[in-house]
Structures are given as structure tokens and as C-alpha cells.
Amino acid sequence: MKVIVAGAFRVPPGNLQRLRSHMMQMIRASRCEEGCMIYSYGEDAGEPGLVRVFEVWRDQAALDAHTKTDHIAAWRAAWPALGVCDRRLTVYEVASEKPF
């Protein structure tokens, strides 16, 4: 069953430029992982410093493997220096899907 990870986190707007390089490293590495279907970050146009997260994984096992990678450990280690806070992500299990 597919799983979706969606949510957001905050960072001081002055740190967004430095954060972008870390986000790009995560995007490139995560998109190469087995079972990753979509992996993206988006800066909220109406709230500077709010970063939206959207991921789609083939199944929970693929997401679990993702959380154990070296690149996610490096990403999380960078958070304190960049001021990443208020991280709120939710995992959704997809029972069915259809075009909207």
C-alpha cells in the first residue's frame, strides 16, 4: 500500500538560501531510493520560512528504509544550525486513488 508523507517545517527566512543546498541534496538522494515515487519541498509563497513537504513511497517498508539512510541522518544533523523547527509531518496510507 502506498504511503504519503505530507506536512511542513519552519526555518528563519534568512536561512532559506543555505537550506536550499541541503534540500537539493535530500531531493537528489531520496529520489534515487528504491520505492520513492515523489519527493519534494516547496517554499510557501505566503509565509516566508514555511517549507512544505510532500513525499510518496511505494509502501511503508520503502519509507522505513529511507529513514535509515546516511543522507537523512546528515539532513537532520544540519537542522540545528539552520534553525529548522516546528516540524509537523503526517504519514497517510493510501487505500485508493483517482484523478481529480
Beta strands in 16-71 (DSSP E): 36-43, 50-57
pLDDT in tens, 20-51: 999 999 999 999 999 999 999 999 999 999 99
pLDDT in tens, 83-96: 999 999 999 999 99
CATH class of 3-92: alpha beta
Q: Where are the domains of the chain?
A: 3-92
Q: Please tell me the predicted confidence (pLDDT) of residue 14.
A: 95
Q: Among residues of the chain, what percentage have pLDDT more than 90?
A: 100
Q: Quickly state the pLDDT bin for 81 (edges 50, 70, 90).
A: very high
What radius of gyration, in Å, describes the C-alpha atoms of the chain? 14
Q: Please tell me the predicted confidence (pLDDT) of residue 3.
A: 98
3-state secondary structure of 20: helix
From CA 10, how far away is CA 20, in angstroms rounded? 13
